[in-house]
Amino acid sequence: MKSIRTALLLGLLIGCCPALWGQLESSMMCVEVNQAGNASVNWTEAVDPAGVFASYTLHIFEPSSGLVLDTYVIDSPTDPVNPGFVNTTYNANTTELCYFVVTEGPAGVFGSSSDTLCSIHLTAEPSLTPGMASLDFNSPRIGSAASDGGNLEVQLEDDPGDWNTIASIPDNGGMMSYEYEVEECSGDLNFRVFKSSSYVQCDQKSNQAGSSISDELDPDPPVIAYIQVDSLSQLAIIHWEPSEASDLAGYIVYRCNAGFQMAIDTIYNPSATYYVDPYSNAVTYIESYNVAAFDSCYVNGAPDPGAAGTYCASSIHLNASRLPCSDVAHLDWNGGFNIDAEITSIGVWAAEETPTGSGNWGNGILLATLDDDASSYAHEGAAFGSTFRYEIVAATTSGAGIRSNKRSLDFSYPGAPAFTSMRRASVADSGGVNIIVDLDPNSEEVHTYILQRKRAIDELFLDYDAQEGIGGVTLQFADLNAATDEMSYAYRVRVENYCGDSVGVSNMAQTMHLQGISDTQLLSNTIQWTAYADFPGSTEGYRIYRRNQQGAATELIAEVPPQVSIWEDDVSNLLYSPGDFCYLIEAMDSQSGPTGGMNYALSNEMCLTQVPVLWVPNALLIGGYNDVFMPVVSFADFDQYHMEIHNRWGDVIFSSDQIGFGWNGMHMGVPAPEGSYGYFISIRDGAGRIYETTGLVHLLVGE
């Protein structure tokens, strides 16, 4: 390029008069390009003190190739004071063109060449970076490769004819570029490059470069500062630092779960810095969230969010537990992940409910301040029956306190049922004791019910058996080892909670021990029993039952009031019974059982035996009044009767196994000889004992 100008200048200077070299000088002022691509070139009027000016020769060349494209001789400018030229031949919208003028005098008088000034050619294309426009343009001095200083202003047309400077770029004399971040949602953007000239007549203006460019650059996601749980509502609150996007229109909040992010709300407020999730369950789970920003460029009428943060941020989640019967609360927590705030320490707080169940929580107390990596704490020494509510507050470098969810813990102590009722202790047919215990129907806790036993000869109750039970259950125990024929037994139930502590005892139940003696002279049996104690109500009285032979049915023979514990049974009218009398006492409760029937308890069964009564005649008279020999027997087992008659040589001349079949004195069909005969009689009483007797009977034969 310099070589072209040098050649031209040399040609002009040939034959030039040195005295005129300083005359006819001119300088380029500006090159302005209009929308049609026509370049208006202006230069200063030639200095002509000698009045020798004749014309201007305008040279046009491409700076990239250095080739002169055209030359125009202008001898009579439209405005001699501000000479110029409008280039309509070459389109300045497609490339930059450089200009310089040579002033000429009359023949033989040469002028001088001006400086070189080029049109500014601007291109505007969408950048490879979404949402950006790449603007490329040249310096007005690119033809001479030397900047004259100053800045080039990159301008954007806001309204038709209204240009707004968006950047100021130092003129480097060559090619320049600028990346414009598109703030408009979509549309045709129009740019130009402007440089103020030192001349008041005009300024340097590029072509207008338009491009249909959309704002494809999404706002950067906000930085989540922390997530905490609201102290009252226990809902998660997400706090973030606002996005710096200039066209920010709002935020979209996402809930994270198992690797998925689901949009839960859209916030149409660019100044918002927090969000309360009305559907959070921060008490039960760690809650994780993410936030994305969106600008005013909607898609199909809906916000078009940018990407959310790389990771979901989480709340701090607290758990609290205690071992049964323990006064220690075990706290553990996790969470607080991927937040911008840096945790410096962990505060463990607790508030006590006073009184328990009132909902009146006292002021929180700081139990401990732990290191930032702490994840558990044990609160010891809580009073039984108290209720505490715990909370974790993490201190951060930003000064914010990050609150966890709250956990309430009841230091309840399992107490005693309202009552434990020993319904009865009744002697079984087998001789053992059956015990029935009714439990408090309103007791909702499982307790251990320990049966305790004390024999009549013991001083203290001893644990015997145990069962677990809950409200409304009826427990049944069996003491198969009780020797109820020998003594009475007392029982009660001791109640233990699941902590192993005794929390109650039932009423006592003492069995009846029945004893008796037989009076063989008065033909009576006297029975006596120990009093029954204690029914849930009171002993209303006793029923006395008797059966008078093995396998016979038991019959009620008397009812006596509760203060009576002895009874005499006259059995003289039962001479022809086996003589074995078994008795049973039934104690009656004044209070009915749970099902409405009578509550009762039985004693042991006790049997008495009357000694058999045997009357044997000493003579019989054949043909007389007493003509059959047979004994009179009472209180004996008549099925076990045997009688024999012997002569003087010991021979059996008569035998009978029937109590009503006696010897009539006959032997082999004829009366036996008069004289004395021996007899042998064997009987058994009701208890199976054998009674034997022998003697002589005198036989007489009547007329």
Summarised one tens digit per residue, pLDDT across range 426-472 is 999 888 999 999 999 999 889 999 999 999 999 999 999 999 999 88
Lookup result for tokens 């054998």 = 690
Mean local confidence (pLDDT), 35-56: 89
Question: In this structure, are residues 684 and 690 in contact, taking their beta carbons and an 8 Å threshold?
Answer: yes
Tokens of 293: 């920003």
pLDDT reading at 545 higher than 90: yes
d(CA 425, CA 510): 7
Number of residues that make up the chain: 703
Distance of CA 426 to the CA centre of its chain: 51
Tokens of 136: 């490329």
Lowest mean pLDDT among 158-167, 205-214, 344-353: 205-214
| pTM of the predicted model over 0.75 | no
Residue 333 has a CB neighbour count (10 Å cut-off) of: 24
Which span out of 4-18, 67-81, 338-352 was modeled with the highest average pLDDT? 338-352
Tokens of 596: 């409405």
Give exposure, 657-693, as e/b (b: 16+ Cβ within 10 Å).
eebeebbebebeeeebeeeebebebebbbbeeeeeee
Question: In this structure, are residues 493 and 424 in contact, taking their beta carbons and an 8 Å threshold?
Answer: no
Task: Map out the domains of the chain with their CATH numbers.
Answer: 2-118 (2.60.40.10), 122-212 (2.60.40), 223-314 (2.60.40.10), 316-410 (2.60.40.10), 420-510 (2.60.40.10), 514-609 (2.60.40.10), 613-701 (2.60.40.1220)
Q: What is the pLDDT of residue 48?
A: 82
Lookup result for tokens 């040279």 = 59
pLDDT reading at 51 higher than 90: no
> By percentage, how much of the chain surpasses pLDDT 70?
94
Question: In this structure, are residues 142 and 116 in contact, taking their beta carbons and an 8 Å threshold?
Answer: no
pLDDT confidence band for 297 (50 / 70 / 90): confident
pLDDT reading at 216 higher than 90: no
Q: What is the pLDDT of residue 184?
A: 67
Q: What is the pLDDT of residue 5?
A: 41
Q: What is the pLDDT of residue 111?
A: 74
d(CA 238, CA 337): 13
Which whole-number Å values give the CA distances from 551 to 5, 203, 545, 625, in the listed order? 153, 141, 14, 40
pLDDT confidence band for 137 (50 / 70 / 90): very high
Which whole-number Å values give the CA distances from 345 to 166, 229, 338, 369, 377, in the listed order? 48, 18, 17, 7, 13
d(CA 391, CA 228): 11
Q: Which of the pair, 13 or 446, is modelled with greater confidence?
A: 446
d(CA 50, CA 489): 155
pLDDT confidence band for 213 (50 / 70 / 90): low
pLDDT in tens, 19-39: 444 567 889 999 999 999 999
